[in-house]
Structure 1
Amino acid sequence: MTTIPEVVEDIILRSPFLVEAISEDIINYSALARKIKPEIEEKLYKDVQMGAIVMALKRLKPKLMTQHLEKDILEYIRSMGEIIVRSDLIDYAYKNSTTLVPKQQKLLSLIQEQKDIFHASSKGVYETNIVTSKWMSSELEGIFSGEELLSKIEDLASVTMRTPTSYKKDVPGVFYYILRRLAWENINVVEIISTKHEFSLIVDKSSVNTTFNMLHNLKS
């Protein structure tokens, strides 16, 4: 039989913003209980007392992100390397085909001698994504002529950080913590590109300064 605490937890975990507000003690439990009461009653097929919902919310807090975990995340972020910003990027998405890989190889041979270029690609089940410097767009589009272009997003920038190579402890939630902070700033992340020891956030160029400042403040 489903209980009130189980339904409350399910509702709260659907929203990262509510999770943060509860874990940081910056939410009015009574107001939140009134807001989610109709959904709880609908799921349980019965009337539910406000006091029971408030109690469930208060008991949920220890299960959410603890202060100790947040401390570990911030320590990990502060140990990351320098923040590198690259501007004037374009994001392409092409439908996968039998001719796509040879064209990618041709593109890579063209850019391998270019030291200042930004280039990253990833292959999914149905499509291949390529993020590259704007000044390479004409060459890229020429090479991929005849392929099905699914999307093209211009006026982008990347913010890249190196993850610590000597950090001994696994710290869950690092990317979630960063993305949550960006969501609070109303920043849309177009792409996330990662390797073993670095990751890049691709954002609209109008958001790159806010993104850089947010990451710099976390490191500081």
Structure 2
Amino acid sequence: MKTVAQAVGEVVKGQHFLEEALARGIVNYSALASDLQPKISDLLRKPVKTGAIMMALRRYPIPPHIHQSGQIKNSLRLLGDITLKSDIVAYTFENSATLIPSQVKLLDKINHREQLFYAFTRGITESNLMISGAQKDLVSSYFKRERQMHFRAKLSAISVKLPQDNYKITGLYYQIFKDLAWNGIAVYDVVSTTNEFIALVDDALVEKAFTVIKRLKSNH
């Protein structure tokens, strides 16, 4: 049978940013326990006292990446150049036997255009293609036989150079995307390499997103 501590842990993990608030000691345990009481009681299928929930909250084991704030702050200070690319369009295509050949034809056509933005990510059932808006006609031509599942225009790409060995720092990406989320910025897609990541956001949010990411460097 599930315990109060297990039920509390399950709920906390499902609440955005609550783990960090607990780690920072900025939570009113009594108020939070009262707020969680109906959900915990439903999970356990019996009435649960707020005192038991408070005790579980105080004993909640904070994940390691929440405690590694020193390493994360140092990595954020070492973030490199932040660049912007505007007028990006994004396509989602259903995976098919002809999708990669279509991509090869497109790449052969745009290969010499060094300033052009282009990214392609392949999933299990679908693939995303992101490219400068001026190339829409080329995409329409080379991918006309593919099943297009989604299209999005008026996007901007924010590219951030990451410090070396960033992949060893647990929670670095979490910190970046947490700050974007706290500022109401939805990320349409993310493309990453070992030492760089690119976030695609709506044109209307790009200035705000740029400011948030830039502030990460100066505030740490």
> TM-score scaled to structure 1, two decimals?
0.92
Residue 132 of structure 1: aligned partner = 131
Distance 1:180 1:129, change over 3 A: same
Report the Cα distance in structure 2 between the residues aligned to 1:94 and 1:39, rounded to whole angstroms.
Answer: 40
Question: 2:181 aligned to 180, 183, 187, which one?
Answer: 183
Q: Is the 8 A contact 1:23 1:65 kept in 2?
A: no
Distance 1:34 1:168, change over 3 A: closer
Report the Cα distance in structure 1 between the residues aligned to 2:16 and 2:23, rounded to whole angstroms.
Answer: 11
Which segment is superposed worse, 150-159 or 179-188?
179-188
Q: Is the 8 A contact 2:75 2:166 kept in 1?
A: no
Q: Is the 8 A contact 1:23 1:64 kept in 2?
A: no
DSSP-derived class of the 2:169 partner: coil
Give the C-alpha shift of residue 5 in structure 1.
1.3
Q: Report 1:60-99 matches (<5 A).
A: 60=60, 63-64=62-63, 68-99=67-98
Residue 192 of structure 2: aligned partner = 194
Gaps of 5+ in 1: none
Could you report, residue by residue, the CA deviation over 1:52-90 in whole angstroms, capped at 9, with x for unpaired residues? 111211222x52467741221121122121111111100
Q: Is the 8 A contact 1:16 1:180 kept in 2?
A: no
Question: 2:210 aligned to 190, 202, 212, which one?
Answer: 212
Could you report, residue by residue, the CA deviation over 1:74-132 in whole angstroms, capped at 9, with x for unpaired residues? 21122121111111100101111122111100110111111211000011111121000
Give the C-alpha shift of residue 144 in structure 1.
0.9
Q: Is the 8 A contact 1:23 1:66 kept in 2?
A: no
Q: Is the 8 A contact 1:78 1:219 kept in 2?
A: yes
Look up the equivalent residue of 2:9 and give its one-letter code: E
Distance 1:109 1:84, change over 3 A: same
Gaps of 5+ in 2: none
Q: Report 1:41-60 matches (<5 A).
A: 41-60=41-60
Give the C-alpha shift of residue 39 in structure 1.
1.6
Report the Cα distance in structure 2 between the residues aligned to 1:85 and 1:121, rounded to whole angstroms.
Answer: 18
Distance 1:68 1:45, change over 3 A: closer
Report the Cα distance in structure 2 between the residues aligned to 1:116 and 1:135, rounded to whole angstroms.
Answer: 12
Q: Is the 8 A contact 2:88 2:130 kept in 1?
A: yes
Over the aligned positions, Cα root-mean-square deviation in angstroms equals 1.7
Could you report, residue by residue, the CA deviation over 1:171-196 in whole angstroms, capped at 9, with x for unpaired residues? 11111121111111111111010112
Report the Cα distance in structure 2 between the residues aligned to 1:171 and 1:32, rounded to whole angstroms.
Answer: 30
DSSP-derived class of the 1:194 partner: strand
The percent identity for this pair of structures is 34
Residue 11 of structure 2: aligned partner = 11
Which segment is superposed worse, 153-162 or 11-20?
11-20
Q: Is the 8 A contact 1:157 1:204 kept in 2?
A: yes
